[in-house]
Amino acid sequence: MEPDQIGLFLSRTTPRALVAAFTVMGLLFLGTGFLTRAYNRQKQERAERQYQAGEQAAAAGRYQDAIQLYTAALALKRDDERYLQALALVLVKAGRTEEAETYLRQLLRADPANGVANLMLARIYAGRGNMELAVQYYQRAIYGLWPENPLERRIETRFELIHLYEEKGELRAMEAELLRLLEEIPDDPKLKKRIGWLFLAAESYANAGKVFAEVTRSDPRDAEAFRGLGDAEFAMEHYFSARTAYARASALNPKDTRSRAQYALATEVIRLNPMLRGLGSYTRLRRSQILVERARKALDYCLPEDLETLPAQVREMLDKADRLISGKVRQRRTAEAVEENIALAEALERYRVLNCPSPAAPDRALTLVLRQLAS
């Protein structure tokens, strides 16, 4: 029958036309259904094949091939989040962040809580130096949904954010994130130590001390925790506690030379401090004289050969120190004498800091003691 005759045949009687129309419609529905099923199956198979090939290419570092394969897979199945995510990740790796961004946004439109997509966007913005958006997406990633090991991924994401803050020198924000992280982590000494070190980097010494102390309590043989505790106590100028912690750390790990050096430094600071409780008046005076002596010596490397070129005030200060060191001045064991010596040592040290070309302290123990005395 010619196609044009179909209409004529159908139009002979209306009921027949209606029945015929619905019959054809039913058949067309069935046919389209079969066709669509075959089409979708074929599409799925082809997409999966391209995706798998893309995975192999990405694993082999052939990012451009992987991008092309993932794109082809995605063109066949545009709503597949696996394909979208894989493409976005490989685009980021290939440095095509603008393109990756649009796919990530597409992923987030479908699933705003997608942890991976939020993290990738956070990294893209961090790379572009847009801290505001980077932090926003890091936070969304932290509180987002992760298909595998969610707790681990959230913790790692927060660590990444903390490192970003550290890099940007935003220490208060870093401390705040660390405190949040501390509440979230399980009882894992490794993680706690990592947090402890980051607290130290954030100059949050009290928190660092607490964290390391907690770890040492749960494992008294953890040398690293003792070293961390020592560093926290040292930074807070608690030299006795620091010395104890360093002593324990170097005992537990004899190869830990840094702890040993820090132990020695803490011991020296303690030995130099004339204001410690329980010292006799002679010892106080003697220690204060040693401070002057070491402060004068610390200046040696940057004074001119001809001292006459120096201002009169400086010459007078140096002369005073020299006379004290040579014993030409006899001091009484009074608190005033001790304070006078400390003031002289501080003045010498201040002169060194302001006028010597190298800011590095030649005598760290002296610097630490004077700082402690000043505070």
Partner 1 sequence: MAKPWLPRGKVSLPQFGMTEAQRFLLLATLIGIFAGLLVVCFHITIEFIRWYAVGTLAEQTRMATVLSPAIGGLIAAGLVWFVFKKARGSGVNQAKAAVYIYDGHVPFSTVLGKFVACSISLGSGNSLGPEDPALQMGAGVASLLGRAFHLARDTMRMIAPVGAAAGIAAAFNAPITGVLFVMEEVVVGWQMGVLGSIVLAATSAVIVSRTFLGDEPLFQVPAFRIEDPKELFVHALIGIAAGLLAVVFMKTIAVLRRRLARLPAWTRYLLPGAAGIAVGVVGIWFPEVMGVGYEAVDGALHNRFPWGTLLALGLLKILVTLLCFSAGTPGGMFAPTIFAGAMIGGALGSLADQLQLFPTSPTDAYVLVGMGTFFTGVFRAPMTSVFMVFEVSRSYMIIAPVMIANTIAYLISRRLQRVPFFQMHAREEGLDLPSVEAEREMRRLRVEDAMQRPHAVFGPRTKVKTALELLREENDEHRLVKIGHGMWTWVCRNELEAAAAEGRADEPLEQVIFRDPTPRLYPDIALDSAMKRIAGHPVLPVISRANPNQLVGTLTLRDIHRAFGVDPDADPCR
Residues of the shown chain interacting with partner 1 in the complex, contacts defined by CB under 8 A: 2-4, 6-8, 10-11, 14-15, 17-18, 20-21, 24-25, 28-29, 31-33, 35-36, 39, 42-43, 46, 50, 53, 68-69, 71-72, 75-76, 78-79, 98-99, 101-103, 105-106, 109
Nearer to partner 1, 4 or 336 (CB): 4
Nearer to partner 1, 15 or 280 (CB): 15
Nearer to partner 1, 82 or 163 (CB): 82
Q: How far is the CB of 130 from partner 1 (least distance, A)?
A: 13
Nearer to partner 1, 27 or 329 (CB): 27
- Percent helix / strand / coil, the chain, rounded to 5: 80, 0, 20
Q: How far is the CB of 84 from partner 1 (least distance, A)?
A: 9
Q: How far is the CB of 120 from partner 1 (least distance, A)?
A: 14
Say how far apart CA 178 and CA 192 lie, in whole Å. 10
Where helices occur in 273-332 by DSSP H, the ranges are 281-299, 312-325
Nearer to partner 1, 26 or 150 (CB): 26
Nearer to partner 1, 79 or 132 (CB): 79
Give me the helix-helix angle, 14-59 and 63-76, nearest 10°.
160
Nearer to partner 1, 77 or 194 (CB): 77
- In our burial notation (b when 16+ CB lie closer than 10 A, e otherwise), range 245-281 reads bbbbbbebbeebeebbebbebbbbbeebbbeeeeeee
C-beta of residue 349 within 8 angstroms of C-beta of residue 363: no
Q: How far is the CB of 361 from partner 1 (least distance, A)?
A: 48
C-beta of residue 138 within 8 angstroms of C-beta of residue 154: no
Q: How far is the CB of 9 from partner 1 (least distance, A)?
A: 9
Q: How far is the CB of 21 from partner 1 (least distance, A)?
A: 6
Within the chain, how many helices (H) and strands (E) appear? 18, 0
Terminal alpha carbon distance of the chain: 107
Q: How far is the CB of 364 from partner 1 (least distance, A)?
A: 50
The two tokens of residue 237 are 């100028």
Say how far apart CA 191 and CA 265 lie, in whole Å. 29
